[in-house]
Structure 1
Amino acid sequence: MILELEELTHRYGTESALEDVSFGLEAGELVAVLGPSGCGKTTLVQAIAGHVSPTAGRIRLRGEDVTDAPPEARHVGLVFQESTLYPHMTVGENVAYGLAARDVEPGRRDEIVTDYLELVDLSEQREAYPGELSGGQRRRVELARALAPQPDLLLLDEPLSALDRTLRERLRGEVARIQRETGVTTLFVTHDQEEAMALADRLVVMNDGSVSAVGTPRSLYESPPTPFVASFLGRSNALSATVVGCDPLTVAVDTQELRLEGVDADVSEADPVTCHVRPDDLSLSPPEAADPDTSVPAEVVRVADVGRRYEATIRLETGEQLVVERTTNPPNTGDEVAVEVPAQSVTVFCANDGDRVVSPASTKP
């Protein structure tokens, strides 16, 4: 294993930034650390790079404990959120900077710079200065500089967040290509769910300094282990209900009973639960055509055309609001509808213990 974090904890005074963070990266993996602002992502990166000394826990690179080692003793490449290129140096000199620090011979240094500028498609900008480059070009120079010493681990701390959406999507593809071609083990830190899911082999989802979940993007999206993961990783509707039957699982939403056939849930009658379901898994039908065992009545209160789809906000009789996605034939505001809830797309959580999923991943198709 290239990177191992064992119960990593860090506090700024009495404030906890990281709490018992443990996970690892295998050789060649691209793992994304995903979470909202303030969840501890940047502190995690700084601890791995050696710029922060953790309060507790261990950091191992290729099996060697580097928890107390200085940054220069760790073979780690790092690209920050903000540009750190030296403005008085050319592109080539910036890329060569880390090589000079490692006493690479000048002749060999030039060869490596050439190779990595070709990798990021910036050979013609070798003599240019950072101020003459676009934002996307500067990001690619920083990637080349971080990769040139051939680090054991590449850390990318929100490297695309300052770019506009079109450029960010293009560079996301470049990051994927470069990581694939070099095979460098990479930890990619982001708050952007789409970015993380598009790039990563695995996700580490963080919240309030702790790890909420680790897994493949698809498995965490389809079978979220906690309500936080369900709501943060993609969009999710939360539906409050009470268990009224267990064989099959039947829940009451206000006075309407909803059967969740095939969901083997560890609950008892009268248990309060929360049902999470994605907006694109829900569908709408006229009340008279709906199956009363798999739908709940509602009213359309808003319809938004967001380009490739319509988003209908509907209000249940309980007052709760859900979002339903449709690609064609949107309903009209004020329509009385029935919301069809497919059992195989529902994840059920115990309302009294929000971190306990009671409909296991095995119930998913």
Structure 2
Amino acid sequence: MTKEYDVELHQIRKCFGSTVVVDDFNLQVERGECVTFLGPSGCGKTTTLNMLAGFLEPDGGTLTIKGKPMNGVPSNKRDLGMVFQTYSLFPHMTVAENVAYGLKLRKIPKSEIAARVNKVLELVKLPHLADRYPKQLSGGQRQRIAIARALVTEPSVLLLDEPLSNLDAKLREELREEMKRLQQELKVTTIFVTHDQEEAMYMSDRIVVLDHGRVEQIGTPEEIYQRPASPFVHEFVGKSNRFQVKLAATDEHLWHFATKEGILLQADRHSRQELTGDAAVAYVRPEHIVIQEVVGDAPPPSMNTVFGIVRLVSFLGSIVEVIVECHGQLITVRTGIAPHLHLVENKFVQLSWDSQHVSAFPAKEA
């Protein structure tokens, strides 16, 4: 069965003067899929969204929506819904009038407008606010109305440009749950822009990680987190402990590394097809490290096991984050609450991890 793609970007390129802000962007978005552009400020995610929306024209490549070429097509001819970082509601219009605005521009009959406005306000659970003005609403309510206004026209593709960034943490969490429910219920193809990793993980079927205008990796949230394709992805998505290492030996299944401080690491070779040269960088996620108390002197160093002194303990609710100094390097550990494990500053501890949880890359990629 042939897959249907609602959005296709092929070798998209955009420059501002001599600066290349998006380069060789390739992506196919399936019908009903939610894809997130994730990356730091200035990585090109909003620029790409604006090219999709028709606010900017690509300098190279082709852009297709619902099988139709969009290069040169004005934004009002693209059948898109868009929700901005700021609510962009008309202050002189009621909630119902704001939501109905796009339908009026399309000259939809009044009776149908009323029915569609009521339906979408029900979807965002705000039908009781239809007669209020934006200034009478909370920030979360305004953003829900902005989402309703984008959905009421039944767009082919919904574009979300950091719509939750102006909200406080609790409201942000509540609204992202609501947005995910709506996206799954309506099965509307959605492209979401954010720099918030947790938000991207929660919302997405797939994530596009961007850095300096180039795609670093495209994959499911699990793939992005568990199998990062580059040092940048490993460091940007979630927390990681980074080790500057040299390749000491290799066999059929494992790489053997050592840091100049004497930390010894092994990594499964499936984590990377090939390492060129002996200089490398290795990563271990904090939650993959097992921490244990040690009584007495430290044994000699061994593979994927180090000994050190606890320097900081932070209680984070369901987990504890521990910073341990080992051979002059600070290593972060995240562990569940364990009554038998009494972690305090200056305690002598052992850290260990499995080779399958070590990712290695050539040093030149870092």
- Fold equivalence (TM over 0.5): yes
Matched, 1:284 2:291: yes
Of the candidates 161, 165, 175, which is equivalent to residue 179 of structure 2? 175
SS in 2 for 1:256: coil
CA shift for structure 1 position 305:
2.3
Matched, 1:345 2:357: yes
Change (3 A) 1:102 1:266: closer
Matched, 1:18 2:22: yes
Change (3 A) 1:276 1:267: same
Ranges of 4+ aligned residues in structure 1 off by more than 4 Å: 264-270, 287-291
Contact 1:300 1:314 in 2 (8 A): yes
Of the candidates 77, 80, 83, which is equivalent to residue 73 of structure 1? 77
Counterpart of 1:360 in structure 2 is none
Partner Cα separation in structure 1 for residue 127 and residue 324 of structure 2: 54
Partner Cα separation in structure 1 for residue 265 and residue 86 of structure 2: 51
CA shift for structure 1 position 164:
0.3
Mapping of residues 48-63 of structure 1, within 5 Å = 48-63=52-67
Matched residue count: 353
Contact 2:230 2:365 in 1 (8 A): no
Contact 1:290 1:338 in 2 (8 A): no
- Of all paired residues, the percent bearing the same amino acid is 37
Change (3 A) 1:47 1:262: closer
Mapping of residues 323-338 of structure 1, within 5 Å = 323-328=332-337, 329-338=341-350
Counterpart of 1:234 in structure 2 is 238
SS in 1 for 2:234: helix
Contact 2:30 2:189 in 1 (8 A): yes
Contact 1:31 1:187 in 2 (8 A): yes
Counterpart of 2:68 in structure 1 is 64
CA shift for structure 1 position 259:
5.2
Instruction: State the superposition RMSD in angstroms.
Output: 1.9
Q: Aligned AA for 2:319? A: R
Of the candidates 268, 288, 296, which is equivalent to residue 306 of structure 2? 296
Counterpart of 1:154 in structure 2 is 158
Contact 1:246 1:269 in 2 (8 A): no
Counterpart of 1:357 in structure 2 is none
Partner Cα separation in structure 1 for residue 48 and residue 134 of structure 2: 28
Matched, 1:119 2:123: yes
Residues 127-136 or 253-262, more deviating: 253-262
Contact 1:53 1:68 in 2 (8 A): yes
Matched, 1:258 2:264: yes
Of the candidates 269, 273, 280, which is equivalent to residue 280 of structure 2? 273
Unaligned runs of 5+ in 1: 355-365
CA shift for structure 1 position 142:
0.8
Counterpart of 1:363 in structure 2 is none
Residues 94-131 of structure 1, C-alpha deviations (whole Å, 9 max, x = no match) = 11110111121111111111111111111111111111
